Structure 1
Amino acid sequence: MADRAKKVADEIIRFLKTVSKKGIRKVILNSQGVVFPKSGKVLPALVSLNRWLEDKVKQIAKRKNLTIVTLLVNPILDQGKLSKATCCQAQNPEAQCGDIDPTGKKMYTLCKDPNHALYFNMGHISHAGWKMIYSELVESKILDPLL
């Protein structure tokens, strides 16, 4: 897990360098992802990786004259009115959301109304969740509304 997270962090750094070369001066980074919705567990390797990434982001921001807002979505999610249950549930411990058995049978179930689910699965915020986050960012004046 830590190796994969390090690769993601390296890609974020590469992305920031690329967008700065293209003239983009304001970037929002999502810093959610160290807490798993069902268990609430925080992985120490990811916490340390987030700290390393935060330091690198600050260095790049200063060097490249970027405004980088680190978006902490967990406080926004915690105050939301959406269901915290995941919309996509694996039917057994060996399956994951989206798995299909050899006969083509779905190994998962979906919630009845995804518009009320905060999380799509154990690792991803749903469309409804991102919409809620976006609305909160517009209200708090971090973002201008898209027209």
Structure 2
Amino acid sequence: MAKSKLVYYLSIFIFTIFAAKYEGTNAHNHNYKHRFHPKKLFVFGDSYVDTGNTNKSLSTSWNVPYGVTFPNKPAGRFSDGRVLTDFLARFYGLKSPVPYMLRNLAGKRAVSYGTNFAFGGTGVFDTLFPGANMTVQIGFLRALLDGSHYSKRDVDTSMALVALSGNDYSTYLFRGGLFQNISAYITQVVNQLAINLRSIHHMGVRKVFVTSLQPLGCLPKVTILNSFSQCNATLNSAVKIHNLLLRQAVAKLNNETANTNGGSPAFIILDLFSSFNTTIFRDDKFVNPLKPCCMGIKDGSCGTVNSSGEKMYTVCEKPQNSIFWDTVHPTQAGWRAVYLTLQSSLSQI
């Protein structure tokens, strides 16, 4: 019973959630001329950018049918295929960085493109999921700056992707926090996020991308309550508070670093809130955009089986026609659509 409850609760949280050529993601296919050409990508956050750090015994991302589109088998990505990390890396002509937990298996050459420190289910604070929070993830990079892995020059020519997708807020509510008091907690979360962003930059990382919070009220785990017909405006109003505070925090950080970063912003927001809304409400190639492709049966979640080995989920025939893969994570097609709306922001460096 305890194990089934754990699986259920983990499934409803936003995990912090994996290099082949694919259409529309090669940096050389764009007309953008970057002032800064990153040599490495360091990734921090949760399942929206995790490419294989999360423990196999605790995560369905290592189970069939995850990875069915890419790489044709489960690989620790919380999707049927590629996630935001993969698209952003390819935009800058980089390979997707190796997951931190797999670095020894991948070899020294693999880490030459950077390292992904993100763990599914985590946040800036400790969450219900036993992964490394963002401060710990940053500590992992600091420990690698010993010359044997990365030098100061390596970091000086690097960029970072930082994703915070809502696990702190899921944990807050699960532990009995009142929604009417969530504004004060949002302030705490964004303040800690700002501390983490500053720490990454202080280590020498030149450019730091940070995601705004996506419209949590539009995730299938929420819209299932109205048969996937509409988003929850109340929940999205709280998301807007987070994003407003984030914009203010990033503006302050850029003011602090203006004299040491050549006059260009060191911190850039990737507006997932607007990108998700554009994809959900304006991209007509997706069928029933608020409904996930992979759905759990009763208390099961995507990728789970019962004691007899029977699937406790169903999967749609064409993931490319769905924005969401499971109740919280986009499909590869969903991520690609979101990424396409972000290209102007990505070209700012």
Report if TM-score (shorter chain) is over 0.5. yes
Aligned counterpart, 2:319: 114
TM-score, structure 1 length as denominator?
0.72
Deviation at residue 128 of structure 1 after TM alignment: 0.6
**1:89 is paired with a residue of what secondary structure?**
strand
**2:218 is paired with a residue of what secondary structure?**
coil
**2:206 is paired with a residue of what secondary structure?**
coil
Deviation at residue 133 of structure 1 after TM alignment: 1.9
Asked if structure 1 preserves the Cα contact closer than 8 Å seen for 2:270 and 2:342, the reply is: no
TM-score, structure 2 length as denominator?
0.35
Aligned counterpart, 1:58: 251
Aligned counterpart, 2:286: 82
Distance, in Å, in 2 between the alignment partners of 1:111 and 1:126 is: 12
Aligned counterpart, 2:303: 98
**2:209 is paired with a residue of what secondary structure?**
strand
Distance, in Å, in 2 between the alignment partners of 1:105 and 1:9 is: 42
Deviation at residue 130 of structure 1 after TM alignment: 1.1
Instruction: Please list the CA deviations of residues 110-147 of structure 1 after superposition, one character each: whole Å capped at 9, or x if unmatched.
Output: 11111221111221121111111222333xx3334xxx
Asked if structure 2 preserves the Cα contact closer than 8 Å seen for 1:31 and 1:70, the reply is: no
Aligned residues: 141
Asked if structure 1 preserves the Cα contact closer than 8 Å seen for 2:197 and 2:208, the reply is: no
**1:69 is paired with a residue of what secondary structure?**
strand
Deviation at residue 52 of structure 1 after TM alignment: 3.7
Which protein has the larger Cα radius of gyration, Structure 1 or Structure 2? 2
Q: Supply the RMSD in Å over aligned alpha carbons.
A: 3.0
With over 3 angstroms needed to count, the CA separation of the structure-2 counterparts of 1:122 and 1:61, relative to structure 1, is farther
Asked if structure 2 preserves the Cα contact closer than 8 Å seen for 1:31 and 1:73, the reply is: no
Amino acid in the other structure paired with 1:25: K
Distance, in Å, in 2 between the alignment partners of 1:104 and 1:79 is: 40
Structure 1 stretches lacking a partner, 5+ long: none
Deviation at residue 16 of structure 1 after TM alignment: 1.9
Structure 2 stretches lacking a partner, 5+ long: 1-169, 174-184, 224-230, 259-265
Percent identical among aligned pairs is 20
Asked if structure 2 preserves the Cα contact closer than 8 Å seen for 1:86 and 1:121, the reply is: yes
Distance, in Å, in 1 between the alignment partners of 2:191 and 2:312 is: 34
Asked if structure 1 preserves the Cα contact closer than 8 Å seen for 2:250 and 2:267, the reply is: no
Amino acid in the other structure paired with 1:35: G
**Residue range with higher mean Cα deviation, 118-127 or 61-70:** 61-70
Residues 124-135 of structure 1 mapped to structure 2, 5 A cutoff: 124-135=329-340
**2:306 is paired with a residue of what secondary structure?**
coil
With over 3 angstroms needed to count, the CA separation of the structure-2 counterparts of 1:117 and 1:49, relative to structure 1, is same
1:34 aligns to 2:216 (yes or no): yes
Instruction: Please list the CA deviations of residues 87-132 of structure 1 after superposition, one character each: whole Å capped at 9, or x if unmatched.
Output: 111112x222222222222211111111221111221121111111
Distance, in Å, in 2 between the alignment partners of 1:142 and 1:113 is: 30
1:68 aligns to 2:68 (yes or no): no
1:143 aligns to 2:346 (yes or no): yes
Distance, in Å, in 1 between the alignment partners of 2:301 and 2:314 is: 10
Distance, in Å, in 2 between the alignment partners of 1:135 and 1:49 is: 24
Asked if structure 2 preserves the Cα contact closer than 8 Å seen for 1:87 and 1:111, the reply is: yes
**Residue range with higher mean Cα deviation, 63-72 or 73-82:** 63-72
Deviation at residue 68 of structure 1 after TM alignment: 1.6
